[in-house]
């Protein structure tokens, strides 16, 4: 009788948990692509920018394709095409000119800091491509910059997986235009004015995620690479966590979706309760005849009052 009561109580609790999980209203999510005309500069609306900075910024062209046929020269002086670095793995794409005195260096430093924390391997799980948007930059300058960051990265695969490219004005503008990277030459300072951020692209050259600023969260970068790869890199845990975290194009970061996390936790609770019920029912059924609470009379023996 006690076993039946215990089972009924657990069943009622399970029913309540399932009601909470599946009767909860759906949590509205912002779409992955900003509304038409939305422009960002480090995640800011173009209307909030000072007039002098409206010429530069990052326009998110999510799911659009890069022109993979564009010719460049790599850090070893070889003639290559952008598509040479696509096809198998997602690509972390950055724009930086090699004589930049501040922002480009800070952005690349932030990228290295994030990459060093990742358990994903360059060359095996992803590629990194840095394109100079200064047509005056040379392969020798690219090689010097590469040596600096490969040493800073301290990963044996980095030299073969991080590519520094230079090219002509037309090639640069085709790629930066497709990526939504807007920059301008400032005659007064004799420097380029430009935004900062990195792009994660899919193996087939589609723009997947934009991470803004000069520091990039390793978690955000990892999720972006896992998503861009279609789940081919990372672990099953990453896929589960991506259900709970959603990319916000306005901030360029991944945020926790509370209701999804609650549903996963509740589902885990249901499974745990179900396992507990099964174990308890089996234990009641298989209890030994001589155990406390079990009848000591042989099966089929007559029972008399007072015995």
**For 224, what's the count of Cα atoms within 13 Å in the CB-facing half-sphere?**
32
Q: Check pLDDT > 70 for residue 53.
A: no
Q: Residues 254-282: what's their mean pLDDT?
A: 60
What letter does residue 84 receive in the DSSP assignment?
G
Q: How much is the pLDDT for 111?
A: 97
Q: Residues 35-55: what's their mean pLDDT?
A: 50
In this prediction, residue 1 has a pLDDT band, given cuts at 50, 70 and 90, of very low
Tokens of 12: 């009622």
Nearest alpha-carbon partner for 58 in 71, 67, 49: 49
Q: Render pLDDT for 232-246 as a digit per residue (tens, 0 to 9).
A: 776 666 666 655 666
Q: Check pLDDT > 80 for residue 266.
A: no
In this prediction, residue 293 has a pLDDT band, given cuts at 50, 70 and 90, of low
Specify the range with the lowest mean pLDDT, choosing from 54-58, 122-126, 149-153, 261-265: 261-265
Q: CA 44, CA 46: separation in Å to the nearest integer? A: 6
3-state secondary structure of 177: helix
Give the CATH number of domain 51-248: 3.40.30.10
In the chain, DSSP finds a helix count (H) and a strand count (E) of 8, 15
**Per-domain residue ranges of the chain:** 51-248
CB atoms under 10 Å from CB of 248, counted, come to 14
- The CA radius of gyration of the chain, in Å to the nearest whole number, is 29
Nearest alpha-carbon partner for 140 in 176, 157, 164, 108: 164
C-beta of residue 183 within 8 angstroms of C-beta of residue 194: yes
Q: Check pLDDT > 90 for residue 190.
A: no
Q: Check pLDDT > 50 for residue 194.
A: yes
Q: How much is the pLDDT for 232?
A: 77
C-beta of residue 207 within 8 angstroms of C-beta of residue 66: yes
In this prediction, residue 55 has a pLDDT band, given cuts at 50, 70 and 90, of confident
Nearest alpha-carbon partner for 129 in 155, 111, 156: 111
């Amino acid at each position: 009788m006690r076993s039946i009561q215990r089972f009924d109580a657990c069943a009622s609790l399970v029913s309540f948990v399932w009601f909470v999980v599946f009767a909860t209203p759906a949590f509205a999510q912002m779409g992955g692509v900003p509304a038409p005309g939305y422009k960002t500069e480090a995640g800011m609306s173009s209307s909030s920018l000072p007039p002098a900075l409206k010429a530069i910024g990052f326009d998110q062209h999510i799911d659009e394709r890069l022109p993979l046929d564009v010719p460049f020269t790599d850090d070893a002086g070889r003639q290559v095409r952008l598509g040479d670095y696509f096809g198998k793995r997602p690509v972390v794409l950055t724009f930086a000119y090699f004589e930049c005195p501040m922002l480009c260096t800070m952005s690349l430093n932030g990228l290295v800091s994030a990459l060093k924390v990742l358990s994903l391997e360059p060359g095996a799980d992803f590629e990194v491509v840095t394109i100079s948007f200064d047509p005056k930059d040379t392969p020798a300058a690219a090689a010097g910059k590469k040596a600096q960051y490969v040493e800073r990265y301290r990963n044996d695969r980095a030299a073969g997986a991080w590519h520094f490219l230079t090219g002509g004005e037309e090639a640069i503008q085709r790629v930066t235009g497709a990526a939504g990277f807007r920059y301008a030459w400032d005659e007064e300072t004799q420097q380029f004015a430009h935004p900062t951020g990195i792009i994660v692209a899919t193996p087939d050259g589609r723009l997947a995620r934009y991470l803004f600023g000069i520091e990039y969260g390793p978690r955000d970068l990892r999720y972006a690479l896992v998503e861009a790869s279609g789940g081919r890199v990372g672990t099953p845990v990453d896929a589960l966590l991506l259900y709970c975290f959603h990319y916000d194009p306005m901030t360029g970061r991944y945020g926790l979706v509370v209701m999804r996390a609650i549903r996963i936790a509740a589902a885990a609770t249901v499974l745990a309760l179900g396992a507990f019920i099964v174990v308890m029912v089996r234990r009641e059924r298989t209890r030994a005849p001589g155990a406390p609470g079990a009848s000591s009379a042989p099966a089929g023996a007559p029972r008399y009052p007072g015995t």
